Amino acid sequence: MNQEQISTAQLAEELLELYDQFSEFSDSCAFQCESMVRVQDAAVSDRALFNGMLHSADWMRLRTAYFKRRLMRLQRRASQIADRTAGH
């Protein structure tokens, strides 16, 4: 297997791993959003509940930034591979 094939295979593996991680993240976000809708009926004066909601929102924000960075890196690598392939 040449270097180009190895790079393409590694990229495919990373994309699959990222897809799995994103699917898990997406499921968690859906659960969190559904939970927050249900909490609207509860008294938000409960400090622990409020802190939990803040923690969940912060976690979603950080994970979203992580996925954006990973996707940008993978896109750059895919572009480099495509450029090398086009040059042959």
- How is the chain classified by DSSP, letter by letter? --HHHHHHHHHHHHHHHHHHHHHHHHHHHHHHHHHHHHHTTS-TT-HHHHHHHHHHHHHHHHHHHHHHHHHHHHHHHHHHHHHHHHH-
The boundaries of the domain holding residue 64 are: 3-87
Per residue in 41-63, pLDDT tens?
665 567 777 788 788 888 888 99
Q: How far apart are CA 4 and CA 64, in angstroms?
A: 30
- Please tell me the total count of domains within the chain: 1
pTM above 0.95, yes or no: no
pLDDT at 7: 82
Average pLDDT estimate for 2-28: 86
